[in-house]
Structures are given as structure tokens and as C-alpha cells.
Structure 1
Amino acid sequence: QRGAPLLFLSAPLPAFHPSPTTSKAPPHRSPAPPRRTRSETSGTGGGGTRAPRDMGEYRAFPDGDAAAMTAVPVLPSSATHPSQEVAAKPRYGSCDRWYMKQVFDNLHGNISLDPLALQFVDTEEFQSFLGGLTMISFPCIMPFRLRDLKQLGLTYLVYPGAVHTRFEHSLGVYSLAGKVMDNLKMHQGEELGIDRVDIQTVKLAGLLHDIGHGPFSHLFEHEFLPRVIPGSTWSHEQMSVLLLDSIVDKHAIDIEADYLKMIKEMIVASSKFATAKSAKDKHFLYDIVANGRNGIDVDKFDYIGRDCRACGLGCNFQYWRLTEGMRVMGDEICYPAKDYLSVHKLFTTRADLHRTVYTHAKVKAVELMLVDALVEANDYLGISLHANDPEDFWKLDDTVIKSIETAPNNELKKSKEIIQRIRRRELYKFCNQYSVPRDKLEHFKDITAQDIVCSQSSSEDLKEEDIAVSNVKIDLTRGKDNPLESIKFFKDFGCNEKFPITDDRVSHLLPAYNQDRIVRVYAKKPELVEAVSKAFENLQLRMYGEKTQVHDTPKKKRIRFN
């Protein structure tokens, strides 16, 4: 009713997960007005316009809003409403509201999922409710996935609010990819030839870009696998591609091979598996979800905002300034020159998250312990054996901890003891850390426990298994290079010239170095803290001729007697 007051909900709407049998259309809806045929829309007296080639026919929505026109697939002549059994499925790229489903996200609000996206979302490889031993105890219950992969792994043990998952992050990237494409289509759609197929393809790449992540986020890829498979080149991007092929085949999802290939190329666009862009049309499409050109992509837009909110940190970066101001020039996404500092904040905010959240000293201590537990359990559980087989890999998620804890035998005794220490907060003890000097960054090699053992005094008896080392790398996504040097800007929307902006033209307060390397050392037993700290100090004197550590070597605590 016109003029009726708006009703605001006092609590967020719960996420709705439609079943395959109910995702096509609501069962009860008044019949839609008759479609206008091409002859009616192209006549001189009707005042209509002919539908574009890629958008099907126009039809008014049942609510009677004449302005709400959309492109929908043509239904068989015997069907007048998509709720009828004979109604055809929407074609690739269509956006009929009758087929859309709404999910409420606490960062982006309502997210509309199109029919093809729903076919991927409603699979066990994507979602997650149960996992681990549940599949063994109850074979009829299929374990699912992304809901049991925490976005920040074990960070929630330090930041209790960091319990969000890859599931909601994937929905967020899907939504932001759609907003970027809608904005580009609105302002440059005809110039760039953007159609509904392009929009749907980029959105699906955003939705599916993280389905290949292993348990505990990047820990599985960068810490666990190199320990059990020396020289491992495994990557979550490549596993996402393998899982995507598996989902399409297993669930008989109707998608053309060319579109599927585009989605896979967009997923790996920022990895070592990226293909040459000279072989692609519309190169800018491959810089939206995973940007290998300069690092600005909707993946970062979502996880920076989501992680800051979950951890209770302030976020000065406003992604909407970039999504609304971006413009494609010469097949490259460019930004207004006035938004230079906004672009810089994207990278500095990400670096701050790495420094204060992702590589927090306590977070790294817990991760080192869990890696030790997983390595001990690998032979029994065969975790690494599933890493290259998508049919088995999708069953791996964060519930592997429960699988270890509830194992009914003594094979996993050592792993259980380590996890029990984590539960009791008996963590590896932090000894000290140092930042690698700037003049040593280029030739720096990771420090190992063996390096520290070799630096101990003759009176000590440290072993490699007594020491844990974390080599932390923090940069602006491009290593020692400044990513802003790879970004092009324009003066205003009436200008067709793009240009880079150097730091000295903006501010002399911007950092001169774009990379930090930090070495942290932990003792696995409290009584070894002093010995490990002294050996670490000797290592620094041997390598650099001086102590570069942050703290003094800890002294033995005095025992207080009452």
C-alpha cells in the first residue's frame, strides 16, 4: 500500500537455504500478466523497444510495477507461469525474481542468489553442517563444507568473535562482484560490451573462488602440507578448479564449457596457474575477483571488512568509493586520482590485519601446535592423501580436530596430548622475535629450529623438537614492490588519459619499504624458554653482529614463598 510506514526488523533475518525442490519458484502466486512478444515490442505504435540479443523477453512483475521490467527466458507456449511443472529453467545470465532467493548477510545486507548460483550453493561441497566422524557414525548424513571452514582458522582462540566462515565470505564476494559488474554495465555497458553472461560468470567466480581451501584456512596450504610433503606446490586455487569440475559433473549442472572455463580462469587469475591475458577477451573481467595485475579485487574488499568487524577492529577503508568510481580504460580498471589514498588504505589495512590479527604471536603459537598435531595424525588419518583428490578432499574441514580427539585408539596419543594442551591454554612459550634488517631482506632465508640448535652454547642440550619457529612475512600483496605503481588513475570522468601516481606526488609520510620479515621463536616446554632465548640471541649475533630482537633475554622467574 502506498504511503504505508516501513517496518524495520529488530534482528537480522536468518539465512535461508532452499532445497533443490523448492528453489525454482514459490508455489502460490497470482498469474503473471501476459508477455509482450517481439512483434508487440518492436511495433511503431506500441512504444516498446526490442530486447537485446542476450537478455530474452521483457515481462512485467506480478506486483504491477510497470517500471520493474526484467529479462527472463521465454517459457513454452503451454506455460504462463514459472511455478507450473512445464516451465523451463532460466537461461544462463537471466535474472527473473521468481527464481531468485534472498540471504541476509551481516556485512552486505540482503544478497540475491540467482538460480545457477543456487545449484552450486545447494551441494555438499559448498555448504557444511556436519563433518569429521559424523560421516563415519551416520553414513546416511552427508557432511558438507564451507560452513565448517573458519575464515581465520584458529584466530578465534585469541579474538573470540572471529568465528565467521568461508561460506559467508563466498556469498559476500559473490554480492560485491555483482555490484561491480552492475556499476560497469550502467556506465560503460555499451562501450565494453558487457552482457548478462559476463555478469553471471564474474559472480560465480566470486562465489566459488574459495571452495578449494583446506582445514584451518591457509595453515593447511602453507604450514601442514610442506611438512608432510616436502616441496609441495599444492594451492587452494587449483583445488577450487578441480572441485568446480567435480561439482558440475556430479550434480549435472547445466553450464556451457566456455563459461565454465572463464570461471576457472578468473579463480586462478592471481595465482601461478594464471593463463596469459593476451589470449582473453575483456581482460578487465579477470581482475575483479582475483586481481593478479595489482591486487585490488572484491575478495579483499569483503574479507578486510568482515575480518575487521569480527575482531572488533576499526576499518578506515571504504570499498564503495572504489567500486563506484572505477572505470575501464584500455581494458584495465582505473580509479579517480582523488581516491589514491583510499587505494593505499586498502593495502595498509590488509597489512595491519596481518600484523595484529593473522600473525598475532599467540595465534601463531596455536597454529604451530596444531600443525604438530596434524603431522602426528597424518599417517593414521591419511589427511595429505586427500589433498589431490577432489572426491575425498571436500570431506576435509575444521572438524578434523574432533576426529583426532574422539579417535578410539592409542595411535593418536601424541596428537591428542597437543590438542589437549591447546584446550587448556598450555601453549608453546614465546621466547623472542626480531625484524629482519632492511639491507638483509633481499637475501633472507627462513630461520629453522636447526639454525637455533646450532647456535646454542656448549652447556645446553637443545634438540630441534624442543623449538618452534615462525617466519612471518607481511607485505602489500606484491612482495618488496609497491602495488600502487601497477595501478592507473584518471583525472576525472571526462578525461580519457590514464596515468600512474608515485608516492612522492602524494605524501612523504608513506612508507619507503613495502615488506616486513619477522622471525618468532617458541619453546615447546616452559622450562626451556631461557635456553632457547639465549640460543636465538647467539644466532642474531652470528648473522648480523648485533642483537636485533625486540625483548631482552628473559630471566628465570623468582619463586615466591608465602
Structure 2
Amino acid sequence: MTGRFGRLEEEKVFKDPVHRYIHVRDELIWELIGTREFQRLRRVRQLGTTYLTFHGAEHTRFNHSLGVYEIMRRIVENMEEREHWDSEERLVCLSAALLHDIGHGPFSHSFEKVFHTDHEEWTRKIILGDTEVHKVLLKMGQDFPKKVADVIAKTYPNKLVVSLISSQIDADRMDYLLRDAFYTGVSYGHFDMERLLRVMRPMEDSAVFKHSGMHAVEDYIMSRYQMYWQVYFHPVTRSAEVILSKILHRAKHLYEQNYQFKDKPKHFISLFSGSITLEDYLKLDESIILYYFQEWQDEADAILKDLCQRFMDRRLFKYVECDPSAQMKIWTELNQLFIKIGLDPTYYLVIDSSSDLPYDFYRPGEEEERLPIHLLKPTGELRELSRESDVVEAISGKKRTDHKLYFPKDILENDTTFAEEKKRILELLMAQEG
């Protein structure tokens, strides 16, 4: 890899609670960290609304991106001089690892659902657009920004490089499991990363793991499974996400109805109109979102005002388990009752579904097909993980889904108006769990 960047005269070190130290030895990486686009990630939380459930979860995309870079640096270092590894790919790997999340918006996935944005698409726009990141990458050569963007888009011709940043076991997932477990204070996400890195071996299209390290891989898979259901899909976090998304939906609806906001939401206008530019997008972070939520608590619109007060004061919706496919008659009655008591069911009666596939073997041609994890036997034979591990075989290909119905229980219990209707609503809601 040719370019004007070389090694730093003196190594830069970040103190990190998860990896102890993050080492930066390349001028390229150091300059990328200093760009305004990368520094913006300090103002975007890694886990969105999870801080309302686990109070320690205040860590940012900036923390995580540095962590992914550090794991990738160690992977690449371990792979040097091994067969199937091209040392010319080193800086492509490190840059892609560092920048893989640079396109995330505030409150990430909730934000994406409302405004139909894609953080990976924005990541590529930042890497290829008129940005400080792009200018830094260009110093490595005219084609270097596209190489990095192609890795993130999973279109890069070297499939091994792609797999290190995006596969069923990659630098991204390794860091977020360890980091999210650390900051939420749970024990589920811990696994032996040191062992995984020692037994990882490069092959032509992906990294594989020595058969002797199978138990470390099992531990990783089970850690991921537990983190999704105990942390990422926690029902209280999902309640906060429901309210967050409904605030954004309501604000967008009001704007389209020419509602006169007390404080014009100038940061949202291009989003609401579908004409957002890269510069507009880069001005959005969680401090901006929370500013408007704070201001909208004083709006004349009762729904926007109430939802913002709920989010800011953590007065979240309660929930019951539900099966949407089996409750259409009850759902219709609930909607009618909510309208009767003056609650718009669009904003106050919400079914939220979560699903996860912890591990899958190869299913060619299927939607979201996943490349499997392979174990390398002493004979040189490759064996798909679930064929060797009883633990992983038990959960392979099994998607777990649950549905919860969210509603403002405080209004139904504490307000005596429409008492009979509210009693009936609570009966119907409680019957969902019975």
C-alpha cells in the first residue's frame, strides 16, 4: 500500500476500560481519529435509550469504534506472515474497522426506522463525500476511500477482509459484546477474546478457528445470545424506544400539517421533507435531539408535549406480552376504547417486536444468508461449527421472536374519567398475558 502516511514517531495510546490500551502507530489512523466526522461519534451513544434501563450505558460510538480498531489491529498483527494474508490490506482493514460506524445517527436504530435512513449508506457517503475523512483517506491514493467504503458495503473483492469486519464473529461484534457488558454491568457478554484471537486463522474467503478453540467460540455465541435478550431487547429499553420513535413521528406529522412550533425545529426540516444533505446529517447528534425534546415539553400539542415529558422524566409505557396474529378482535376493541377516552392509539397503544437468530449455518439463496463459522481440524479439514458443537447445534437456525404491547398504564389507573372504559381496557390488556 503506497501513500504519504507512515508510522508515527511516537505511538499514541488511549486508555480503555475494556482493552486496557488502544495503540495507534499509523499517521493515517491518528489523522482519521482527529476528523470532525469521527469526533462527532462522541455525541452518539452506543446503546441508544439503554441508559434509561442500565444507568452505566453512557458509552459512545466513539468508544466502540476505537475498540473495533484495536481488535482489528491485533487480528492483523496475528495474521502477518500467514498463508492467505496479504499485508497490503493492513491499512484498509484498520481504516474500515475505525470508520465502520461513522454514519450512525442519534439514537441510531430508532432514528433509522422513523426516517428510513441507513447508517451504512451514510457511512459510505461520509467516506466518499466532501468530508475531512475523505480528504485524509485520499492521501493514501485516489482509490483508497473506495476500498474502505467497499469493505463496509461488503462488496470488496477480498472476502477475508470483509469477514473480519462483518460476519457472525468479527471485530465489531467482539468489541460491542465486551464493551456493552462492561458498561451495563452484566456478566452475560463476557467471553475469552484472547483465546479467540490466538486460534483465528486466515483462509481465502474468511477467517476460521482452530478446532482446539471451539469452546471459546461456543462461549462467544452464547454470550451474544444472552446479551440480545437480557440487554439489547430489554423491555424497558424498548419502551423508551417506542416513545422516542413516537415523538419523532408526531413532530414530523405536525410539521406536515403546518403546525407552528414555538421553537422551529430547523435541524429536522430536511429530514421531515426528505431532502437531507450530508452536511445536515452531520449536524445531528443526541445533544440536538434532547434539546428539542426538552423544548417540546412546552408545546401546545398535547401528544408531543406528553411524550416528550415521558421520555425526559423516564415515565415510560408499561407492557404486556402479546401475540399480534391471535388478537385482532381484542386489538380492534382496544383501539376503539382508546379513542373513546381521548388517547390516540397511534401513539399510545404500540406493539413492538424483537427477534434474533444467534447463529446460522449456510443457507444459500435465502434472505440475509449468513456465512457459517468454520473450525480447522489438525488434518486441515474444515468443519462447520454446529456440526462439531452440541451447544451451538441446539440454537442454530432458530430465530426467537417476542411481541410486547406498550401502553400508558398510569393514565388508565390514576385518572378517574372514563372509569368504566379504562377498567375494560386494563382487563383486555391483562388478558393478553393470561
TM tier, smaller? 0.7 to 0.9
Asked whether the 8 Å contact 1:344–1:484 carries over to 2, the reply is no
Post-superposition offset of 1:156: 0.8
Match of 1:418 in 2: 307
- SS across alignment from 2:7: coil
- SS across alignment from 1:126: helix
Q: 1:300 to 1:533 in 2, by over 3 A?
A: farther
CA deviation vs aligned residue, 1:270-323 (integer Å, no higher than 9, x gap): xxxxx3x6xx2x4211111122xxx11100000000000111111441122221
Out of 337, 342, 356, the residue aligned to residue 211 of structure 2 is: 337
Match of 1:555 in 2: none
Asked whether the 8 Å contact 1:215–1:397 carries over to 2, the reply is yes
Match of 2:86 in 1: 194
Q: 1:500 to 1:147 in 2, by over 3 A?
A: same
Asked whether the 8 Å contact 2:99–2:123 carries over to 1, the reply is yes
Letter in 2 for 1:206: A
Post-superposition offset of 1:247: 5.2
Letter in 1 for 2:408: K
Asked whether the 8 Å contact 2:351–2:404 carries over to 1, the reply is yes
Distance in 2, matches of 1:307 and 1:425, equals 21
Out of 99, 115, 120, the residue aligned to residue 237 of structure 1 is: 120
Post-superposition offset of 1:351: 2.2
Post-superposition offset of 1:470: 0.8
Asked whether the 8 Å contact 1:404–1:412 carries over to 2, the reply is no
Asked whether the 8 Å contact 1:120–1:247 carries over to 2, the reply is no
Q: Does 1:264 align with 2:149?
A: yes
Letter in 1 for 2:160: F
Q: 1:512 to 1:532 in 2, by over 3 A?
A: farther
Q: 1:470 to 1:95 in 2, by over 3 A?
A: same
Post-superposition offset of 1:221: 1.5
- SS across alignment from 1:486: coil
Post-superposition offset of 1:151: 0.5
Out of 317, 325, 328, the residue aligned to residue 199 of structure 2 is: 325
Q: Does 1:287 align with 2:163?
A: yes
Match of 1:84 in 2: none
5 Å-filtered alignment, 1:426-445, equals 426-430=315-319, 432-434=320-322
| Unaligned runs of at least 5 residues, structure 1 | 1-53, 56-89, 128-144, 226-231, 270-274, 437-445, 539-548, 553-562
Distance in 1, matches of 2:352 and 2:174, equals 28
Out of 55, 59, 62, the residue aligned to residue 164 of structure 1 is: 59
Q: 1:484 to 1:532 in 2, by over 3 A?
A: same
Out of 180, 188, 208, the residue aligned to residue 307 of structure 1 is: 180
Q: Does 1:514 align with 2:398?
A: yes
Match of 1:365 in 2: 239
| Unaligned runs of at least 5 residues, structure 2 | 256-264, 413-421
Distance in 2, matches of 1:478 and 1:455, equals 40
Asked whether the 8 Å contact 1:453–1:464 carries over to 2, the reply is no
Asked whether the 8 Å contact 1:377–1:404 carries over to 2, the reply is no
Distance in 1, matches of 2:327 and 2:410, equals 17
Q: 1:451 to 1:208 in 2, by over 3 A?
A: farther
Match of 1:491 in 2: 377
Q: 1:501 to 1:170 in 2, by over 3 A?
A: closer
Post-superposition offset of 1:448: 12
CA deviation vs aligned residue, 1:51-84 (integer Å, no higher than 9, x gap): xxx69xxxxxxxxxxxxxxxxxxxxxxxxxxxxx
CA deviation vs aligned residue, 1:76-120 (integer Å, no higher than 9, x gap): xxxxxxxxxxxxxx834x32433x422211111222222112222
Post-superposition offset of 1:220: 1.1
- SS across alignment from 2:38: coil
Asked whether the 8 Å contact 1:480–1:515 carries over to 2, the reply is no
5 Å-filtered alignment, 1:348-497, equals 348-378=222-252, 379=255, 380=265, 381-382=268-269, 383-385=271-273, 388-399=276-287, 400-406=289-295, 410=299, 414-430=303-319, 432-434=320-322, 453-454=331-332, 456=334, 461=340, 464-465=345-346, 466-476=348-358, 478=360, 486-492=372-378, 495-497=379-381
Identical aligned residues as a percent? 25
Distance in 1, matches of 2:177 and 2:308, equals 29
Q: Does 1:123 align with 2:35?
A: yes
Match of 2:106 in 1: 215
Asked whether the 8 Å contact 1:237–1:268 carries over to 2, the reply is yes
Report the TM-score when normalising by structure 2: 0.80
- SS across alignment from 1:406: helix
Letter in 2 for 1:402: Y
Distance in 2, matches of 1:120 and 1:508, equals 38
Post-superposition offset of 1:236: 0.8
Match of 1:154 in 2: 49
Post-superposition offset of 1:533: 5.5
Distance in 1, matches of 2:327 and 2:141, equals 51
Range moving further from structure 2, 528-537 or 204-213:
528-537
Q: 1:485 to 1:241 in 2, by over 3 A?
A: closer
Asked whether the 8 Å contact 1:480–1:513 carries over to 2, the reply is no
Post-superposition offset of 1:262: 1.7
Letter in 1 for 2:171: V
Distance in 2, matches of 1:209 and 1:536, equals 42
Distance in 1, matches of 2:38 and 2:391, equals 45
Distance in 2, matches of 1:428 and 1:266, equals 40
Distance in 1, matches of 2:103 and 2:174, equals 20
Letter in 2 for 1:486: P
Out of 17, 20, 30, the residue aligned to residue 106 of structure 1 is: 17
- SS across alignment from 1:181: helix
CA deviation vs aligned residue, 1:524-558 (integer Å, no higher than 9, x gap): 353447644554678xxxxxxxxxx6x43xxxxxx
CA RMSD of aligned residues (A): 3.4
Post-superposition offset of 1:396: 0.9
- SS across alignment from 1:206: helix
Q: 1:504 to 1:483 in 2, by over 3 A?
A: farther
Post-superposition offset of 1:450: 7.8
- SS across alignment from 2:36: coil
Asked whether the 8 Å contact 1:449–1:469 carries over to 2, the reply is no
Match of 1:28 in 2: none
Structure with greater contact order relative to length (CA < 8 Å, sep ≥ 6): 2
Q: 1:109 to 1:308 in 2, by over 3 A?
A: same
